[in-house]
Amino acid sequence: MFVDSHCHLDRLSEHTHQGDVAATLKAARAADVSQFLAIAVTLEDMPGLAAIAREHQDVAISAGLHPLHTPAQEPSVRDIQDAAEQYGAVAIGETGLDYHYPDRVPVEVQHERFKRHLIAARELELPVIVHTREAREDTLALLRECSDPKVGGVLHCFTEDLDMAREAVRLGFYISLSGIITFNNAAALRELAKKLPLDRLLIETDSPYLAPVPYRGKPNEPAWVVEVAECIAKVRGISVDEVAMQTTANFYQLFKAAAPDAPAHVQQALAQAGLV
Annotated binding site for a divalent metal cation: 6, 8, 94, 131, 156, 206
* Whether 107 contacts 99, CB under 8 Å: yes
Q: Which residues are annotated as a binding site?
A: 6, 8, 94, 131, 156, 206
Strand partners, 38: 7, 61
Whole-angstrom distance between the N-terminal and C-terminal Cα of the chain? Answer: 17
CA pair distance 160, 46, nearest whole angstrom: 29
Within its chain, how far is the Cα of 77 from the centroid? 21
CA-CA distance, 191 to 200, in Å (whole number)? 15
CA torsion angle 263 268 272 274 (round to 10): 60
